[in-house]
Amino acid sequence: MLTHRRWKSLDGAKRGWLRAKHHFVVSADGNPAHAALGPLIVWNDDEIAVGTGFPLHGHRDMEIITYVRQGLLGHRDTLGSEGAIHAGDVQVMSAGTGIRHAEFNKGDVPLKLYQIWLLPREAGGEPAWDTRPFPKSDRSGRFVALASGFARDEGALPIRADARVLGAMLRAGESVRHELGPACRAYLVVASGRIEVNGEPVGPLDGVAITKVAAVQISALEDSELVMVDAG
């Protein structure tokens, strides 16, 4: 089953410095059709103005994955970690028993990123932070695990959730087949380009909730950048 969540149907927020679209409902008055998918409860598409960002704030018992699409993300936290995350790179933060952090636009163009929140398989644990570059050339024509809660995904940033965050770059005319995990549920977003998923057209910035199918066939109608969470 494929449920298309078109860009125009997503809830959103504007705060002057922040423009956000929400693939999953984040408030009581949000789109009830955009419910959580297993451990995947948040997927925000954020655009942050130059010289601004989120001030120091706290999280606990959450796995937070940040995928930078454009610009340069700055990060500071109460663990003493500092980072500069470039487009195509990935950051993970396991909030555990509690962590406070600030995130901000460290570059000279609008910062565009995905914020993905996953429920951990267990509450608690020491908070942790890490980041890693993932060259787009390495995911040409295939999905690569960027962050994963499964030991078999070597090279991926570790998270404490029963899920994997995957990325792929497809040229126009290329196709890739993805076998889903035992839970048969995933969420796919087209960061750029146009694709078909099992024959259904999906446009730029749209999302697709995938449930109750063992595999999906994804074909690129244009050069496309894809990000997907396989939720178990």
Mean pLDDT of the chain: 95
Q: Contact, 190 vs 175, CB < 8 A? A: no
Q: Integer distance in angstroms from the first to the last C-alpha of the chain?
A: 16
pLDDT at position 222: 98
The pTM of this model reads 0.95
| 67-88: pLDDT as tens digits | 999 999 999 999 999 999 999 8
**For residue 232, pLDDT beyond 80:** no
State the residue for tokens 């889903």: 180
Instruction: List phi, psi (to 5°) of 211.
Output: -140, 150
For residue 132, with 0-12 CB atoms within 10 Å meaning exposed, 13-18 middle and 19 or more buried, which class applies?
middle
Q: Contact, 114 vs 189, CB < 8 A? A: yes
Distances, alpha carbon 13 to alpha carbons 17, 28, 30, 162, 183, in Å? 11, 14, 11, 29, 32
User: What's the topology of domain 2-230?
Assistant: Jelly Rolls (2.60.120)
- Higher local confidence (pLDDT), 136 or 63: 63
DSSP string, 151-169: TTSTTSEE-SSS-EEEEEE
SS3 content of the chain, % helix, strand, coil (to 5): 5, 55, 45
Q: Which residues pair with 121 in a beta bridge?
A: none
| 42-52: pLDDT as tens digits | 999 999 999 99
State the residue for tokens 């555990």: 96
Looking at 8-12, 86-90, 178-182, which range is the least confident one? 178-182
Could you tell me the residue ranges of all domains in the chain? 2-230
| Residue 73 in tokens | 């993300």
| 112-171: pLDDT as tens digits | 999 999 999 999 999 999 999 999 999 999 999 999 999 999 999 999 999 999 999 999
Q: Contact, 146 vs 135, CB < 8 A? A: no
State the residue for tokens 């063992």: 214
